[in-house]
Amino acid sequence: MPTTTLSPPASSARERSAPEVIFAEDLCKGCELCITICPTKILKLDTTRVNSRGYHPAIVYNLMECSGCASCAKICPDSVITVRR
Amino acid sequence: MARKLMKGNEAIAAAAINAGCRHFFGYPITPQNEIPEYMSRELPKVGGVYLQAESEVAAINMVYGAAGAGARVLTSSSSPGISLMQEGISYIAGAELPCVLVNIMRAGPGLGGVQPAQADYFQATRGGGHGDYHVVVLAPANLQEAADLTQLAFDLADKYRNPVMVLADGMIGQLMEPVELSPYHPAAGLPPKDWATTGTAQSGGRRRIINSLYLYPDQLEQHIRAIFAKYAEIERTEVRYELHQCDDAEVVIVAYGTTSRIARSAIEKCRRLGLRVGLLRPITLYPFPFAAFPPVIERAKMFLVVEMSMGQMLDDVKIAVAGRKPISFYGRTGGIVPTPEEVVKQVQALLGGPGA
Amino acid sequence: MKTVYEKSPGLTDVPMHYCPGCTHGIIHKLVAESLAELGVLGRTVAVAPVGCAVFAYDYFNCDAQEAAHGRAPAVATGIKRVHPDNIVFTYQGDGDLASIGMAEIVHAAMRGENITVVFVNNAIYGMTGGQMAPTTLVGQPTTTSPLGRNRLGQGAPLRICEMLATIDATAYIARVSVHSIPRLNVAKRAIKKAFQLQVENKGFSLVEVLSTCPTNWGLSPVDSLRWVEQNMIPAYPLGVYKDIEGGT
């Protein structure tokens, strides 16, 4: 399963401490539960493309704000998301 | 084990335990209650499980679960209860699980009565539930045979991964006769139950799934064809029947179970009257012993089918005889057991006169 | 870096067929995580229902049997009685458990059958296209109650937890929801506890999980979570209805 890692380049101290949020993107059905549940509101659907199932996949657009709480991963019905920190 | 006087229902139950059955799920219904009663008494003594279900519907689904878990499992009931089990029997056949079912038939339709009948032949031999499948059907005519066929039923079920039914009636169930249960050895070469759901820790991580759902028609057709390949083998190798005084018989009676006993008495009386009468007794009702018929058809003048129904096995005899000789039918139904004298009268009428 | 959350080893790699946002997937995860964390996956046998979760046998990473509609508790009984050391659970929807399978669930509970039941209540028949369920709310329109379920004639919701909690032999009966993270965490603990009690041979445990059906409710997945909170929970109060260990 292709995955998309949305970690920033490890170039600064702040960035190195950011959590890693990995999407098994082709499993995403674009249901937006992760977007709703995220306490810091840093997820969105990437409406510029579709995955292999024809859905706009969810992405993190502001990883710097991510607390690594994994709420998005817990609520995701399709086990799309892995969180590390 | 020495010969012991037993009731038919008890003989079946004892034979099941002798054959290694350790799980029974059922629901009370007359006239088969001695089977669950015996099991409830005896199974715990050998480390087995007797469970009285809330209905026949639940009982047969417990059988499904237990069979899928790899157990030798039995249920028993009588006609209306077997009707309720048809859903589960279809699933068991579809999922290719082995189990043994006992139907101690009573009169129908509906609530009918509690007296013996043979009116579930169609239901037993044609499938009974929905979809393309068969249940192997064994029809004992005496209690020793009831015990022996019950043991055989477990072997056949395991060999072919298919439900096997012992089909008897209230007469066989309630009758007392001497029965001997010999030490049981399972048939040679029974396949291992490596498909049973016992947990992946026991299978090297390979997941075992018991299922009858195939949403893609091509896959389902393939599955059914594979099941029917087994039925073809069963039809080739598992046919059982008995020929009694057919060599010189002008009239061949075709009867199974209780009515075959009555036919046997009638034949004795007929022979004393100088009437040449024989018996063709199917022991397996599915597979029906079609192959037994051709040599008999050559010699016999006619056939007489005797059943405790309005004529169900009659259809299979018609298929077997294929119009080559005339077939008559004598049936009593509603719980009435025909007497040998009634059958003798039928033979006399067929052969044209009292002494023929 | 340490993993905060990843897909449970209790699930297979088969992509789930559920509609987008359907909470079946979340409930599958909680069950799978519980089994994996208890270390019992290798001796677990799942019993799948008829309904949306019919393919559960493809998703749980353990042995499984597919039951006829409503009969899962009877099938589970058969399995458990053959191998009492197996951890056996049914995963059933509301049509399966609360309608056609009512006799089987009540009697499995009555016997104190040492199995775990995961009961997914979304107040509607999903697989068949949105027909009225015994758990449909009064006034809720479905394809077979187009004017909304009428209390007179069509009845009011069956409350399974309340009913089963009256049965002596039950060990643990709880109703939970997965519409928020705190609620999801409570649901996880309840499901894990239900399995733990089975491991300890304590008897029958059932966790009812309020679930969504965005497709047949005609709501977005996000609005469906709100509908659970605003409409279902008042009709189906959350909580522990029975706990032989005395917890609530």
CA of C91 vs chain B CAs: smallest distance (Å):
15
Q: Which residues of C touch B54 (CB under 8 A)?
A: 103-104, 106-107
How is domain B242-351 classified at the CATH fold level? Rossmann fold (3.40.50)
- Give the separation between CA C185 and CA C225, rounded to whole angstroms: 15
* Model confidence band, residue C246 (pLDDT cutoffs 50, 70, 90): confident
Residue A5: predicted pLDDT: 54
Q: What is the ipTM of this complex?
A: 0.97
Q: Does A8 contact chain C (CB < 8 Å)? A: no
Is pLDDT above 80 for B268? yes
Residue B2: predicted pLDDT: 81
Range scoring the smallest mean pLDDT among A16-20, B79-83, B166-170: A16-20
Residue B127: predicted pLDDT: 79
Average pLDDT on C7-11 reads: 97
Tokens of B281: 């007794």
CA of C233 vs chain B CAs: smallest distance (Å):
32
Q: pLDDT (tens digit, 9 = 90+) per residue, B236-258?
A: 999 999 999 999 999 999 999 99
Q: pLDDT (tens digit, 9 = 90+) per residue, B284-320?
A: 999 999 999 999 999 999 999 999 999 999 999 999 9
Which residues form the domain of A54?
A: 17-84
Is pLDDT above 50 for B194? yes
Who among C78, C106, C107 is closest to B65 (CB)?
C78
DSSP strands (E only) in C136-221: 170-177, 204-210
Answer whether B59's CB lies under 8 Å from B82's CB: no
Residue C184: predicted pLDDT: 98
Is pLDDT above 60 for A14? no
Is pLDDT above 70 for B353? no
Q: Does C67 contact chain B (CB < 8 Å)? A: yes
Q: Which residues of C touch A29 (CB under 8 A)?
A: 19-21
Q: pLDDT (tens digit, 9 = 90+) per residue, B335-349?
A: 999 999 999 999 999
**Are the beta carbons of A85 and C18 separated by less than 8 Å?**
no
pLDDT over 70 percentage in chain B: 99
Q: Which residues of B touch C59 (CB under 8 A)?
A: none
Q: pLDDT (tens digit, 9 = 90+) per residue, B153-167?
A: 999 999 999 999 999
Cα torsion through C241, C244, C247, C248, rounded to 10: 0
How is domain B4-237 classified at the CATH fold level? Rossmann fold (3.40.50)
Q: pLDDT (tens digit, 9 = 90+) per residue, B12-59?
A: 999 999 999 999 999 999 999 999 999 999 999 999 999 999 999 999
Residue A10: predicted pLDDT: 45
**Are the beta carbons of A74 and C11 separated by less than 8 Å?**
no
Domain positions in chain B: 4-237, 242-351
- Give the end-to-end CA distance of chain C in Å, rounded to a whole number: 37
Answer whether B9's CB lies under 8 Å from B38's CB: yes
Nearby residues of B38 by Cβ (< 8 Å), 6 or more positions away: B9, B10, B13, B14
* Model confidence band, residue B220 (pLDDT cutoffs 50, 70, 90): very high
Residue C234: count of CB within 10 angstroms of its CB: 9
Three-class HEC string of A26-67: HHCCCCCHHHHHCCCCCEEECCCCCCCCCCCCEEECCHHHCC
Q: Which residues of B touch C74 (CB under 8 A)?
A: 53, 57-59, 61-62, 64-65
**Are the beta carbons of C67 and B64 separated by less than 8 Å?**
yes
- Tokens 């977005």 locate to C220
Q: Does B62 contact chain C (CB < 8 Å)? A: yes
Q: For residue C130, which amino acid is it?
A: G
- Give the separation between CA C51 and CA C96, rounded to whole angstroms: 7
Q: Which residues of B touch C84 (CB under 8 A)?
A: none
- Give the separation between CA A10 and CA B277, rounded to whole angstroms: 99
- Give the separation between CA B167 and CA B181, rounded to whole angstroms: 20
Residue B1: predicted pLDDT: 63
Residue B352: predicted pLDDT: 85
Residue of B nearest to C65 (CA): B210
Establish whether domains B4-237 and B242-351 are of one fold.
yes
Pairing of strands B99-105, B163-169: parallel
Domain positions in chain C: 24-243
C24-243 to CATH, choices 3.40.50.1820, 3.40.50.970, 2.40.70.10, 3.40.50.800: 3.40.50.970
Residues facing residue B254 across a β-bridge? B280, B305
Q: Which residues of C touch A1 (CB under 8 A)?
A: 13
Residue B136 DSSP symbol: E
Q: pLDDT (tens digit, 9 = 90+) per residue, C136-188?
A: 999 999 999 999 999 999 999 999 999 999 999 999 999 999 999 999 999 99
Residue B187: count of CB within 10 angstroms of its CB: 12
pLDDT over 70 percentage in chain C: 99
Tokens of C159: 């409350």
Q: Does A29 contact chain C (CB < 8 Å)? A: yes
Regarding chains B and A, contact by 3 or more CB pairs under 8 A is answered as: no
**Are the beta carbons of C79 and B23 separated by less than 8 Å?**
no
> Is residue A1 assigned to a domain?
no
**Are the beta carbons of B63 and C78 separated by less than 8 Å?**
yes
**Are the beta carbons of A32 and C6 separated by less than 8 Å?**
no
- Give the separation between CA B52 and CA A47, rounded to whole angstroms: 59
Size of interface A-C (CB pairs under 8 A): 82
> Is residue A33 assigned to a domain?
yes
* Model confidence band, residue A4 (pLDDT cutoffs 50, 70, 90): low
**DSSP symbols for C41-84:** GGGEEEEE-SSGGGGHHHHBSSEEEEPPTT-HHHHHHHHHHH-T
Is pLDDT above 80 for C198? yes
Q: Does C84 contact chain B (CB < 8 Å)? A: no
Residue C188: count of CB within 10 angstroms of its CB: 21
Size of interface B-C (CB pairs under 8 A): 136
b/e burial code for range B254-291 (CB count within 10 A of at least 16 → b): bbbbbbbbbbbebbeebeeeebbbbbbbbbbbbbbbbe
Average pLDDT on C99-122 reads: 98
Cα torsion through B9, B13, B14, B19, rounded to 10: 140
Mean pLDDT of chain C: 97
Q: Which residues of B touch C96 (CB under 8 A)?
A: none
pLDDT over 90 percentage in chain C: 98
- Give the separation between CA B21 and CA B47, rounded to whole angstroms: 11
Question: Which of C2, C5, C55 to probe by mutation at the A interface, max A CB count within 10 Å?
Answer: C5
Pairing of strands C3-5, C239-243: unpaired
pLDDT over 90 percentage in chain B: 97
Average pLDDT on C198-204 reads: 98
Regarding chains C and B, contact by 3 or more CB pairs under 8 A is answered as: yes
Mean pLDDT of chain B: 97
Q: Does C77 contact chain B (CB < 8 Å)? A: yes
